[in-house]
A and B are shown apart, each in its own frame.
Chain A
Amino acid sequence: MIVSGRKLRVATTSLAGCFGCHMSFLDIDEHLLELVELVEFDRSPLTDIKHCGPCDIGIIEGGVCNAENVHVLREFRKHCKILIALGACAVTGGLPAQRNHLDVGQCLQEVYHTCIGVESLPGGQVPNDPELPLLLDKVHPIHEVVRVDYFIPGCPPSGEAIWKFLTDLIAGHTPRLSHPILRFD
């Protein structure tokens, strides 16, 4: 996807993730210097831009666990020509999805009320400030909420895998990951 005369615009974010995939992204080390010749960053933890503008590539780390995640993900889908799920959580739900066999109501009860060592709010109230995003009853991979163009699995994907994928993509090839850099763990 060569765009003549300008750098590609890339946005990144982490939803229900641990930022490990972003750390791995930084692990491409000296390739970062090559990368900044090719791309510029829009919304991203690297820029602190709060909302995503029109972009060529959006990279999502983390699954979808709450209402805010849904809004952010939709913002990315709306503004990014290409959307990439980065890492196990974005691809499969990952670690946060390990709560999916539990009842979310009971989880909230336990966390804010019955759990030992918790000072519960009066009447066992679960925090209800409208500023707090509500939890979905299950954590989902992002492809169950918006259309996703590409997937880079791994927990986290190695810097090498991320670099290979992005350079393929930027060069206009179909990005391809195979043994040994394709990893789910």
Chain B
Amino acid sequence: MEPIANSLDAVLEAVLSKRRRDPTQLLQILREVQEQVGYIPPPALTAIAAALKLPRARVEGVAGFYSFLHLQPVGKYRVLFSDNATDRLLGNLDLLGTMCQKLWVEQGKVSEDGLVSVDVTSCTGMCDQGPALLVNGRPITRLTHQRVNEICELIRSRRPLSLWPQEYFRVEDNIRRKDDLLNTVLEPGAALAAAMALGPEAWLGEVQKSSLRGRGGAGFTTGVKWEACRNAPGEERVIVCNADEGEPGTFKDRVLLTSYPDHVFEGMTLAAYATGARQGFLYLRGEYRYLLEPLEAALQRRREAGLLGQGIRGQAGFDFDIEIHLGAGAYVCGEETALIESLEGKRGTPRIRPPFPVIKGYLGRPTVVNNVETLAKTVLIALEGAERFAAVGTAQSTGTKLLSISGDCAFPGIYEYPFGVSIEQILEDCGATDVQAVQVGGASGTCLASYEFHRGIAYEDVPTAGSFMIFDTSRDLFEVARNFVHFFAHESCGFCTPCRVGTSLLQNFMDKLATGHGAKYDLADIEWINRLLKAASHCGLGLAAANPVVETLIKFRPAYERRLQSLDFAPAFDLDQSLAEARRMTGRDDADAHLSSVEAHR
């Protein structure tokens, strides 16, 4: 069909020239081509490779890495149900089943008429208003059976997304408790003015004095990071804002980027001022694609106000601008070196460290990678001073922390607390009763049982990037852990042996237990795999991948033991099911055509 080929060429040409045929833009090019064509056909890969002067295999390798990029047609409507543990609590799989049934489509397959595909995806960051889904990349929240039925009708009648009820796409902030950060009204440029009055060295000193630590979870001291970048050899420095908010159950960066974008961009500019960086990137997770236009508009406003670009606030030589890069469904890109690889248009594989990004980051340049919330916090330091900032929280964890609260509670949403706040206090405030466990810090975080609820949120006690998922006593924590293990297996980049194989082995063991074929031997193997993941993984993903299982095994062991069919050993696979195909072929159903999964008396 000639017109389609022509239109593919036209799309490619438009995207390639907009992206300056720059190989570092590869991921953005692939994403934009897909947005227009629906998927990335093989000839498009060949053409993109030629235009960027890259080997085709490398372009194919990048396209194959990101779960939102497709090398085969995926349907005019591509529906992805968010599949976090909190979506499960709200019945997402039931809704998915309904949709598949109504649309006559099998999960993970494209309908025969090429109209629609329905599948699950990792947490989309809408846990406070789930169950949620993405349709062609756009989030729909607060799903009910009625809403799913309506969506099926819209899909069947091939109604363009732009004509769907706008109410579906409404995303709430749900800010429930404001403290220092969320209460700050920022006049754009005001924080910069304060920092520039100090000068770069004194401003950096102020950040160090505040003891601000990274809000992405690891808790590295921000001032130290900035100083290392400032002092690293090299001409060009880079500030990256990590908005790849992929940890299941966290959505506070989404709210900051929605309602406090100037705080974030001003924070990035403050970092640039301290380090001398001229180039900035916001790495926005693909799930937040819908925020791209409003964020671009915010950047444009700041450029027009002289707060970005050449000679910021009239100071000659203070040049800094920010470009937004979108991810495409890869949790591992939240790891800073994987994120940098992705920014360079590559597969999101974590690098060997050292060297650390502050020495050699984006394109080998000294690079600061900070979390969205961390950067927003620097605005507070500029406006109110380090002393005032450090007066809040605990000695080792200064300031406040945003928590994304979801799961079994009356008031899910965003809560800002001074560090040190106890789990009990939080549970009371959000209206959670009869709580069995809280998963703090997401899938890679820690699972707290009720006897630990006196503990506090702080780097020195219970650290968290912000995810706070609540499970009441009616919930099955084995299933929660199994959901997280599936998440890690899906998100493993596959670079190192222990994580690539170990997360899949772990997933198989959890599935084996779930189907009632587990044995004590399997628990021993799970613990052994955990040890290997901890000992040998290349990055934090593998390191943490067995945490959900190991912690629930210790704290909620009955959830596992009641699933053990045999205390000793059970086969690795379902023996009777393994005979099903041969039974079908022979038409047999006699006693000898079946096998019990444990030894029967014969």
Contacts and interface: CB of A to CB of B under 8 A. Distances in A.
Chain A–chain B contact at Cβ < 8 A: yes
Interface of A: 67, 70-71, 74, 77-78, 103-105, 108-109, 125-128, 130, 133-138, 140, 144-147
A134 B568 contact: no
A78 to B, nearest CB: 7
A77 B571 CA distance: 13
16 contacts: A67-B579, A103-B581, A104-B582, A105-B581, A105-B582, A105-B585, A108-B586, A127-B586, A128-B587, A136-B579, A136-B582, A137-B582, A140-B573, A144-B571, A146-B571, A147-B521
A49 B578 CA distance: 30
Given A105-B585, A127-B586, A134 B579 contact: yes
Contacts, number: 67
A77 B568 CA distance: 13
Contacts of A136: 575, 578-579, 582
A115 to B, nearest CB: 15
B400 to A, nearest CB: 52
Given A134-B582, A134-B593, A140-B572, 8 more contacts: A67-B595, A104-B582, A108-B582, A130-B592, A134-B588, A135-B579, A136-B579, A145-B572
Interface residues of B, number: 24
Instruction: Report which residue of B580, B599, B602 has the largest number of chain A beta carbons within 10 angstroms of its beta carbon.
Output: B599
B590 interface: yes
A70 B573 CA distance: 12
A138 B578 CA distance: 7
Contacts of A71: 602
Interface string B216-229: 00000000000000
A71 B598 CA distance: 11
B584 interface: yes
Contacts of B575: 70, 136, 145
Contact of A130 (B569, B585, B590): B590
A35 B205 CA distance: 81
Interface string B307-349: 0000000000000000000000000000000000000000000
B583 interface: yes
Interface of B: 521, 568-569, 571-573, 575, 578-588, 590, 592-593, 595, 599, 602
B602 A134 contact: no
A126 B585 contact: yes
A137 B581 contact: yes
A78 B602 CA distance: 12
What 4 A-B pairs have minimum CB-CB distances, sorted nearest first? A144-B572, A128-B586, A134-B582, A147-B569
Contacts of B595: 67, 70
B572 to A, nearest CB: 4
A135 B575 CA distance: 11
Contacts of B573: 138, 140, 144
Given A67-B592, A70-B595, A130-B590, A108 B571 contact: no
Given A145-B571, A146-B569, A147-B521, A134 B584 contact: no
Nearest to A148: B569
Nearest to B580: A137
A133 B583 CA distance: 10
Contacts of A103: 581
B568 A137 contact: no
B588 A128 contact: yes
A103 B578 CA distance: 12
B584 A105 contact: yes
Contacts of B521: 147
A70 B597 CA distance: 10
Given A144-B572, A145-B575, A134 B599 contact: no
Nearest to B586: A128
B578 A78 contact: no
A130 B581 contact: no
Contacts of A74: 599
Given A144-B572, A145-B571, A137 B578 contact: yes
A128 B587 CA distance: 7
B342 to A, nearest CB: 33
B590 A104 contact: no
Most buried by A among B568, B569, B575, B581: B581
A74 B569 CA distance: 12
Contacts of B579: 67, 134-137
B581 A104 contact: yes
A54 to B, nearest CB: 16
